[in-house]
């Protein structure tokens, strides 16, 4: 090979991203993977731990999943409220990895579980002050910050039930603590981008400026998406709709479109006959005009609840299983959910 060609090849290789120097990052669900991908854009790519379309509430790792986690230097995940099994798994499979449960960040906007199968729209105060700073450095340096600050100790017990009879205590009373679907509030997406950039910068100081710039750009993209979605959903403030499972509280509250009921609880557990009856009664009483189903779950339950009641239907997915992974994922997910609501008009 000529000297000229060697020089050209050397120049080409030198301009490639230095992936080999980037920490091995593992994420739990596609929305978090999308946020981390946005921060790592131009530097490297994170690994998605859960299979696309899988429920994070109760997931059994495959060998390939466990191998990826074992190699991780940084695990960025939602938190124990969504995946109570993952804390112990990280501790046993990746004991040397830095763990960042995003739900534990002090600035994260939190909403409590909604009570019962049906619920009235509530006025949620989102006027939180989100400081530019993020979790203190001591928290990020804690390799396993899995403290249960919000009463999730009971989640496993609540989730691991087989009795769905009419008198099910699980079905009549909401879980204690916070609704774990926090990524569906775009303000949390912005907060998490900064925390992700901070954690990555500590692992990889060489690319700290790029991580910070990507996080800032991602936050601006979320602001643009939020403004766009708010304009689309403004006419739908009086929409009466039900959802398959109570996963959209954060999105609903942020944009002022609140469901009147959910067939399944926030953990997507099988609803009892009593709960189905309550939602069916609400469909008639509230003149529900739309039902939002999910691709992962049995759509026949929607038929059971609606009966002869005429209502529009739309498919919605809080995890965006049909979307391509990558830096654009989170914005596309927000738009997907907004379009599902718009299609219910």
Share of the chain above pLDDT 70, in %: 77
Q: Closest Cα partner for 81 from 191, 182, 187?
A: 182
Is residue 313 helix, strand or coil? strand
> Is the pLDDT reported for residue 342 higher than 60?
yes
Higher pLDDT, 200 or 12: 200
Q: What is the mean pLDDT of residues 161-184?
A: 59
Which of 9-18, 52-61, 151-160 is predicted least confidently? 151-160
The answer to whether the 3-234 and 236-315 domains have the same CATH topology is: yes
The model's pLDDT over 127-152, given as tens digits with 9 standing for 90+, comes to 344 334 333 434 334 333 333 333 33
Secondary structure (3-state) at 262: strand
Judged by DSSP in three states, 24 sits in coil
- Which residue(s) pair with 48 in the sheet? 27
For the domain spanning 236-315, the CATH number is 3.40.50.1980
Residue 45 CB partners (closer than 8 Å, separation 6+): 19, 37
Would you state the pLDDT for residue 104? 96
Position 176 confidence tier, pLDDT thresholds 50, 70, 90: low
Beta-bridge partner residues of 100? 76
Q: How far is CA 22 from CA 13, 43, 194, in A?
A: 16, 7, 18
pTM (whole model) above 0.75: yes
CATH of 3-234, one of 3.40.50.1980, 3.20.20.120, 3.40.50.1820, 3.40.630.10: 3.40.50.1980
Instruction: Say which range, 57-61, 87-91, 120-124, 185-189, has the weakest mean pLDDT.
Output: 120-124
For residues 293, 310, 304 and 333, what is the CA-based torsion angle, rounded to 10 degrees? 0
Tell me which of 296 and 77 has the higher pLDDT: 77
Torsion angle defined by CA atoms of residues 109, 113, 119 and 125, in that order, rounded to the nearest 10 degrees: -20
Q: For residue range 288-316, what is the model confidence (pLDDT) as tens digits?
A: 999 998 887 777 888 888 988 999 999 99
Averaged pLDDT of the chain: 81
- CA atoms of 255 and 258, how far apart (whole Å): 9
Q: Which residue has the tokens 């403030």?
A: 237
Annotated domain spans of the chain:
3-234, 236-315
Q: What is the arithmetic mean of pLDDT over 81-90?
A: 91
pLDDT digits (tens, 9 = 90+) for 192-208: 999 999 999 999 999 99
Burial of 187 (0-12, 13-18, 19+ CB in 10 A): buried
Q: For residue 57, what pLDDT is reported? A: 79
Please, are residues 40 and 25 in contact by the beta-carbon 8 Å criterion?
yes
From CA 75, how far away is CA 50, in angstroms rounded? 13
Alpha-carbon Rg for the chain in angstroms: 21
pLDDT in tens, 228-240: 999 999 999 999 9
| Distance of alpha carbon 55 from alpha carbon 241, whole angstroms | 23
CA atoms within 13 A of residue 35's CA, in its CB half-sphere: 31
Is residue 285 over pLDDT 50?
A: yes
């Amino acid at each position: 090979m000529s000297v000229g060609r060697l020089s050209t090849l050397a120049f080409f290789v030198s301009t490639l991203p230095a992936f080999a120097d980037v920490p091995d990052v593992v994420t739990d669900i596609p929305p978090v993977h999308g946020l981390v991908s946005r921060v790592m854009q131009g530097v490297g790519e994170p690994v998605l731990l859960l299979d696309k379309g899988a429920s994070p509430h109760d997931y059994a790792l495959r060998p390939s999943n466990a191998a990826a986690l074992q190699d991780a230097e940084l695990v960025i995940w939602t938190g124990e409220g969504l995946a109570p099994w993952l804390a112990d798994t990280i501790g046993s499979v990746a004991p040397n990895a830095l763990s960042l449960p995003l739900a534990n960040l002090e600035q994260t906007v939190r909403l409590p579980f909604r009570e019962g199968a049906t619920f009235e729209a509530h006025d949620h105060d989102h006027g939180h002050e989100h400081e530019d700073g993020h979790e203190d450095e001591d928290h990020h340096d804690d390799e396993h910050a899995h403290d249960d600050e919000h009463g999730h100790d009971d989640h496993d017990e609540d989730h691991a039930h087989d009795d769905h009879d009419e008198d099910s205590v699980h079905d009549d009373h909401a879980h204690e603590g916070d609704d774990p679907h926090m990524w569906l509030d775009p303000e949390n997406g912005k907060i998490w981008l900064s925390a992700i950039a901070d954690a990555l910068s500590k692992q990889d100081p060489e690319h700290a400026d790029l991580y910070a710039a990507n996080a800032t750009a991602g936050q601006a993209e979320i602001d643009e998406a939020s403004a766009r979605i708010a304009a689309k959903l403004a006419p739908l403030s009086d929409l009466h709709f039900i959802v398959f499972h109570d996963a959209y509280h954060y999105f609903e509250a942020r944009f002022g479109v609140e469901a009147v009921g959910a067939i399944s609880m926030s953990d997507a557990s099988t609803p009892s006959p009593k709960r189905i009856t309550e939602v069916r009664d609400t469909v008639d009483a509230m003149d529900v005009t739309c039902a939002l189903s999910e691709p992962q779950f049995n759509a026949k339950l929607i038929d059971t609840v609606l009966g002869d009641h005429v209502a529009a239907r739309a498919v919605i997915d809080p995890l965006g299983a049909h979307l391509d992974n990558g830096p654009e994922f989170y914005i596309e997910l927000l738009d997907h959910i907004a379009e599902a609501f718009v299609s219910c008009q």
